[in-house]
Amino acid sequence: MQDFQLRQRETLLELIRAMTSRLDLPSLLELTLQSAVELLRGQVGIIVLRGREGAMRVRAYYGLPESMVRFFQPLWADLPGIEDEPGPFSRWRIPNVQMRLSMVAAAAGLAVTQVVALPLVFEEQLLGAIYVFRIGGGAFSPADRALLSAFADQAAIAVRNAELYQQVSEEQQALLAILDNSADGVMIVDGRGQIQVFNRALTRITGWEAEAALGRAPGEVLVLHDRHDRPVPLPEAPGGRATAAGARRYVEGRVARRGGPPLSVGITATPLYDAEGNLLRTIYNVVDITRFRQAEEMKSTFVSVVSHELKTPVALIKGYAETLRRDDAQWDRDT
């Protein structure tokens, strides 16, 4: 018996290390559940997690077909909250669990006779619950429950880490989708000076495909010149520590395009720094101002033409007036 318990603890430690190294939630839940069932010598297992809408949903099951999972729903209907159970979490119990288990066994046609269930708790927040069932076997002992409790504590931490990682990944995907569909060109350069994000609008502006631009220096992709064809350097964040966190830099110029005429653009560079003032990344916002420049040129041309047309009659009138004022000129009555 002692040898078996020792092997259980060694297995538990190995599983905890394996769980904490995983960030993919589905595979983590699968490993967690299978390990819990095997540790307690059960045959069936289920993990439910609280969804964003607040309801408990099955996220992993073991030892039974998917078609039978729905019959187990009474076991997690109206689960007690952590705040409802004073004292250690190990005292947490499902109300009328044996009656519910009998309902499950009758509905599923499965001889599940014993169940042990424990909450998955992280910082006093109920994330879900883990269930291990035995079919026709003996009752779970207090030692079994204590073992599952230790396992559930570590599993809750791993689940929370995986959920946070999944949340960050989803938010990153949403942000990248927003950037990729922005009307303005957006380029993100890391602290080493390599392009990490290059959206579709910037492909239209520069003629560079994102796949070809990623990993390059921004100066290779955005080549600027002024109206006199002199090179215009890109705005860059100062290296090392920040002098003014978030300080923006702006330049204008004509950007060389692959396979097309140059465009007039305005480029804003916004550096981002960490808490110690070290440069993390620089965000470049590139706006096509070609039409604005064309409108300015048309305005300048119009003003020049109007000015010329106005000056011509005025000069004639002044000439006539000066002639009429001459003292040496003799004018008849009709003039």
Question: Tens digits of per-residue pLDDT, 196-229?
Answer: 999 999 999 999 999 999 999 999 999 999 888 8
CATH superfamily of 180-288: PAS domain (3.30.450.20)
What integer pLDDT is reported at residue 240 of this predicted model?
44
Domain with CATH 3.30.450.20 in the chain: 180-288
Segment among 178-187, 272-281, 310-319 with least mean pLDDT: 310-319
What integer pLDDT is reported at residue 155 of this predicted model?
84
What integer pLDDT is reported at residue 248 of this predicted model?
66
Q: Which residues contact 45 (CB under 8 A, 6 or more apart)?
A: 33, 34, 36, 37, 60, 61, 62, 63, 130, 131, 132, 133
pLDDT band at 63 (very low <50, low <70, confident <90, very high): very high
Segment among 35-44, 76-85, 303-312 with least mean pLDDT: 303-312
Sort strands 260-273 and 185-190 into parallel, antiparallel or unpaired: unpaired
Domain with CATH 3.30.450.40 in the chain: 2-170
What integer pLDDT is reported at residue 303 of this predicted model?
56
The more confident residue out of 181 and 150 is 181
- How many Å apart are CA 123 and CA 29, to the nearest integer? 19
CATH superfamily of 2-170: GAF domain (3.30.450.40)
Half-sphere exposure of 88 (CA within 13 A, CB side): 8
Q: Tell me: pLDDT of 54 over 90.
A: no
Q: Tell me: pLDDT of 76 over 70.
A: yes
What's the 3-state SS for the chain? CHHHHHHHHHHHHHHHHHHHCCCCHHHHHHHHHHHHHHHCCCCEEEEEEECCCCCEEEEEEECCCHHHHHHHHHHCCCCCCHHHCCCCHHHCCCCCHHHHHHHHHHHHCCCEEEEEEEEEEECCEEEEEEEEEEECCCCCCHHHHHHHHHHHHHHHHHHHHHHHHHHHHHHHHHHHHHHHCCCCEEEEEECCCCEEEECHHHHHHHCCCHHHHCCCCHHHHCCEECCCCCEECCCCCCCCECCCCCCCEEEEEEEEECCEEEEEEEEEEEEEECCCCEEEEEEEEEEECHHHHHHHHHHHHHHHHHHHHHHHHHHHHHHHHHHHCCCCCCCCCCC
pTM above 0.85, yes or no: no
Count CB neighbours of 88 within 10 A: 8
CB 99 within 8 A of CB 79: no
Question: Tens digits of per-residue pLDDT, 90-119?
Answer: 456 777 888 888 888 888 888 888 999 888
What integer pLDDT is reported at residue 332 of this predicted model?
64
CB 114 within 8 A of CB 134: yes
Instruction: Name the most confidently modeled range: 5-19, 82-96, 280-294.
Output: 280-294
- How many Å apart are CA 118 and CA 42, to the nearest integer? 15
Mean pLDDT across the chain: 81
Q: Tell me: pLDDT of 171 over 50.
A: yes
Segment among 40-44, 76-80, 210-214, 242-246 with least mean pLDDT: 242-246
pLDDT band at 122 (very low <50, low <70, confident <90, very high): confident
Question: Tens digits of per-residue pLDDT, 29-47?
Answer: 888 888 889 888 899 999 9
Question: Tens digits of per-residue pLDDT, 249-293?
Answer: 889 889 988 888 888 899 999 999 988 888 999 999 999 987 766
